[in-house]
Structure 1
Amino acid sequence: MSLLIRRIALENFRKFRAPHEIAGLTQGLNIVIEPNETGKSTLLEAVRAALFLKHSSTTKLIRSFQPLGDNVGPQVALDFDVAGAPWSLTKRFIKSASVELSGPTGRQQGEAAEQALQALLGFEAGQQGAGFDKTLHGALGMLWVAQTDGLLVEAPSSNLRDLIGATLEGEAGALVGGAAFERIRARIDTQYSAYFTGRAGTPTQRLAAAQKRAIAAAETVAEAERREELLEAAFADLDAARRQLATLRRELENDPDATERTDVLARLETARGAAQQLATRKAENAAATSRLDGLEDLSTRHGAALERQASAQARQATTREQLAELTEGLKTARTHAETTRSALATTLASRDAARTAVTEARALESAMRRRAQIAAAHERLAQVTELEAKRAPLDAALKQAVPAQVLEDLAAAEREVVRHLTLLEADGTRVELVGAQGVTRDGAPLEPGEWTLTRETRIGLPGGGELVLRPSQALAGAQAALDGAQARHSALLAQWQVATLAEAQARAEAAREATRALETLAARILAAAPADRDLNLAAGAQTLRAFIAEHPLEVGEAQAPALPPARSLKELEADQDRADAAFTRAEAQARQAEDDAREAEKARVPLAIDEASAASDLARIGDELTLLAAHPDFADLAATLTAARETAAAASVALQQAEINAQAFDQTALTRRLETFAARRRTAEERQNELKAQIAGLEAKVESDGGKGLAEHAAAAREENEAARAALVRIEEEAEILKLLRATMAEAQAETARSITGPVANRAARHVGRILPGAEPAFGDDLSLSSIRRAGVDEACEQLSKGTQEQLAMLTRLAFADMLLEEGHPVSLILDDPLVYSDDVRLDAMTDLIVEASERMQVILLTCRERAFRHIEATRIKI
């Protein structure tokens, strides 16, 4: 049994403030392709609100349906078929909240209509919060997929699982879940709850109490045994401490380190004398070495200065010869640079004159082009004015529009008048006058014939008598109701200045046609007034009109004057190109001449610097030689240097002998040895004091704990521990038996659940194989898709890519829809912006599956991606 939605009408529902109708929905595939922000998602929310939300509710979700800033009543109307039978639903929220459901069983309003709707479509009533609760919406809650919900691979709701389970009962065999099974399981659960808590299996009540008793008894035994062991350890520690104290006292009275300490002190004095002699020899060696280094440095510096002096003299002579050659070349380069600069000035003047002529010619041509564009703008304004003149009759037709609610009220009033007339015709008294003359009715002559008596009537008889006819009170009330209905009908016709309902409907249809015509006219006006970047003109009729007002066009101004006949723009541009080329050549020649002059100057600069540097070096070297000759040791440097070398050698030999003497004694090691003797005695004295304090504390503890009967307490604790452990073993055996029994029943129920999920997986596998060849879907006990098996490996759904999750969510919905359709449940598919993460190949495969599904049920696809679905054959719906 398929659910077929044929018409959706909205008013005061979010962005749809004015009455708006989407009609023409058919069996099969219906595609609504519109850009973002046009109301596709709002359309789906309106359908869900009309079917699943109570008209009397005022939740936050329902208040969000009101247009922003308006305090009005959102209204939705639906025409739909269920199992081929037509139904009509109108629901209004918040302001004058109401609901009316009409169908084969008649018309119902209020709560009766809500209950009938729930029974018809198989969903539950419930309090909706900030969003739609899909778990209450039955099959349609899963199959009508809002934006982003298509990404979720989720389990069906509990009531939907019941429907699917009933569908598969014949395939899976009898379900474990009968009354006897439930009574047994309830009794086992009651006993199980005395030992464990719910699904977590945490010990509670009897088992927890037994465990606490065993733990407490074990802790008591451990504490008693610990205290007993501590007392025995105190006796042992006291005896050991007394023995250690006696040993320390003997060591302190007979010091074993006294003889060695005296020997170490004597050796330390000898080591200090050797160290003093070593320091003296180091000072003498350092003085001799410093004297030798100074004399050798003086000799080395004098020889190096003589070598630098000879090198500087040779470099100065070479540099002077090269400078004389470069001076003549520099004069020639400067003369050539002056000549090229003069030629460059001449070509610059020619180039400027050519550019001025071209600029003037281009300005004249631009003025001509702008005048032509302004003339074209004047023509477009004429077209816009002609189009705007056609708005008046359309606006007049739009003002004559009769609202849809008024049409419904008129139709209802007519139906009410007809109903009351029919009742009066059926229940009224028929009166007939045959052959009499001179008879009157309520003062007017009465002709022979038949009429229906519905109110008190006075019949005037010949001769002055009068016959009064009075109908029943119920018939009089029916006549009053008819009068009231006719009065309301007439008032509505008079209010909207129409003679009949057909005239009102014609005016409404004319208004709709005028609306469509105005939209077309607005598009044509916008096309006739496009943006013009050259004129800095934005799109729109008002902008165009303001521009024309600022730029009036004189008669004949559209024709721009021609260029001067002497020279055309192309000839002037050719002159400019030739002048630019001549200037470029002259500029390059002048630049090259300048570069040659600079290169000549640059080549001369390093030589001049080298010549000056050589002269400076010679002067500095002469000063250095004079300074070295003034040194007191320079006069007899060779003999003084030989004597210094002999003195340094003798000092080095004496230093080596002193180091040998000093190495025979390690002063640091001797000092460390003395410190070790002192630390050893200090430690022994500190340990003696610690042992005295420890012995005093142990004696006090032994005296205190010795009389508390620790052994008796330990024995009693051991007896209680044995009893508690025995009780715990017995209760744990009872608990494990109940756990095993409960698990066995759960396994039996799970096995049956798996026999249910098998057919679901088989149905889904046919679809999954189309996009994931060789993949096998696996469903959980709650009929949710849990994993995909590929190449022998199970992959959890949440680990798959977003695109694959979206595709699997769609495929499982198709599988469930087919099962529900087979059992005669009302099913349809609404998809809001589906398959946003699919690649091109899978998108084509999924599109084919959707098209195939539309052959079995109605599918409404809301999307903004025209390119992805333009090739599909379907009913195209515009919002």
Structure 2
Amino acid sequence: MKLHRLVLSNYRGISHREIEFPDQGVVVVCGANESGKSSMIEALDLLLESKDRSTKKEVKQVKPANADAGSEVTAEISTGPYRFVYRKRFHKRPETELTIVAPRREQLTGDEAHDRVRAMLAETVDTELWHAQRVLQAASTVAVDLSGCDALSRALDVAAGDDAALSGSEPLLIERIDAEYARYFTATGRPTGEWSAAIAGLADAEAAVAECAAAVAEVDERVRRHAELTREAAELSQQHRNAGPRLAAAQEAADQIAALTNQAREAKLIAAAAAATSAASTAAHAERLSLVAEIGTRATTIAVLQVEAEQAADEQKEAAAAAEICDTAVEEAVRVLSAAQARAESARRALDQIVDREEADRLGARLARIDANHRERDRVCAELSGVTVTEQVMCRIDEAAAAADRSAGQLASVSAAVEFTAAVDIELVVGGQRVSLPAGESWSITAAGPGEVVVPGVLTARISQGPAAQEIQAKQVAAQQELTAALTAGAITSVAEARAADQRRRELQNKRDQLTATLDGLCGDEQVDQLRARLAQLQASQPAEPNLFATDAAAARVELQAAEAARTAAQTECETRRRTAATAGRRLAETSTKAAVLQQRHTAQRAELDAARNRLAQARASVSDADLAVKANADLRARETAERRVAELDEAFAAMAPDAVAAELTLAGDLAESLRQSHDDALNALREISIELSVFGSEGRKGKLDAAETEREHAASRHARVGRRARAAQLLRSVMARHRDSTRLRYVQPYRAELHRLGRPVFGHTFEVDIGSDLKIRSRTLDGTTVPYESLSGGAKEQLGILARFAGAALVAKEDTVPVVVDDALGFTDPERLAKMGEVFDTVGAHGQVIVLTCSPDRYDGVTNAHRIDLHA
């Protein structure tokens, strides 16, 4: 199969594209990303495989988004004896056209054309090989599977030397075996068809037997359960009658404990009331005694507080006198400190003004130097601007003068010297100049150029130059013209003047640079305007009195140090006196606070003593101290009597073991209730089972079980019969597959040898691969190191995938060849291997079609014989 021409119209983003492919060789189709390179292969597949009216997703996706038009694909293909032009339009007004050019011309349309193309391709093209011989972007590193390619299998049979006589019916036999196998098994070996139905029928029959047997067993289980429930109900009824006396005895004991509990509760209420009354009378008596004691204690406390308050008042007076003395000392120290601070400030201001005056003097001198340097630099710059000989002009003059000197020297070396010796007095005319030459004298000239010597009335001698001299003469003239032009550009007349002007320019530039450096040093990081502003500020801050600066800075600093020392001493003394005054103030505050607190406590204690005496008088007026004591004793004895009654009842209650009685009552009640509930449950279950048995009796479950067992025997017989045929087909297919795999192993070696032949120029002479029976590469060996295919780098996988397809293309027969399509591969390959892969492309392209689609055509520069097609050209 060969692709000669491909035309796309309104296909995805492609409005129109037509590409013609040579019959053999490498074709590199290059274009940018999303320019529709991969769409070309997709379009060819849709053309060959999908009908024009197809609604598959793959067909819908290629409709252009920017035009209301149908996608059209046209291809010119030759395969076997056929050559045809095939066109389809999808989506809008679908159409199919086929023109067969060879072996005889035919024209077909519609489904008839589609079916004819499919028939021609099925007859002449191994479609598995056509799809396998593609290196696509999405699967460029996946191991290629060529095991299903019949064309390659035939070629490998021949290459392996398989010369056994074939009848031609072997593929048909395998197909019939596969067809027979397919009656019973799927492609993955699962039962299907008649064998699956037999298995399912046997399983269903066994399930039906199991279901019927379970139904019969269910009836037996209900009968057994009915007998058990009858016996259980009788036993539970007898047990419930036996539990009655135990429950009555436990209830009687519980009633006795309840009566005793009521008596104990009443006794506790009486004891609690007696305890409350006794506590109240005892508390009243204790409060009376406490009040009497409190009055005595407060009288003693008041006497002590009176003495302490008088002592605190005396201490307060002494502290007030000391604080007043300290405050006077602080005021004096503050006055001395203020005078010292004023003296120090005055001395500091005087020193600052003297320093500012000195800085203004230095700044003024600095600005004067800056102005002088500015004027000098301006003068130098003005003089420098008047020099017309720049560095470029001087370089031009030097080059022109050197060229003129070289050409003059060369001209002098090739020019002839002509000497004239007069035999008699004669007169010569040379270039318009007359020369008188007496007899016996000589005169010579150098023939630097063509010239003419005339002896009037006698002869005319012409001097001409040779080609070399003429060429040098032309160079000399051109050099002189260039020198003249350079001197004119510099507004000077000679080279010496130019050199003098250039020397002066260099001197002025050096001086300008020196002045600029001096100005930079004088200004530093500051601008001249900033310096002038600072000077004006310093001058404005100077005092108007000229005699203020009678002292110098050293004397001012001495005065400032003395004033600072006096201020520091005064400040230290002031701080000392303030701390002393603060201590005296704190002492005064403490003594004042203490005196006030003691006075308040004395007053409060006096008021509380009077209040206590009033409360005692009121209490005694109500009940005397003796009556209160008698009542407290009587209430205490009543409390003790009530508590003894409560203890007696508690002992009697504990002797009856109330917890055990309660537990026994609970157990007896629970047992009776449990037996009653169990008896009722047994009777209910017995009634339900009786109803179920009456229903089961009408269903005929035993007859159904017999019918299901008969059906199972029929299903088992059919399962065994079909199973024998299925296992026989499976055995026959496995034997044929084993023999086919052994055959494949024979032709793995020719394929491996071809892959070695193509791969060793790329990977080196130690390159080897291990090939499986499915013709997939399992590992690669280089320099004795074997690496599994899946562990190789992306670049190596990509290269091996292309070489595997090239090996298949090289082995198949000429009539079975299909184009090898490489879609934007070798992106992981280094430049050295790219060049080697290019040589392999050339080798394979010499015998078939190789179509390369890429956005990086420079990857394939190593393919020397490639035919290149630019999609944007």
Structure with greater Cα Rg: 2
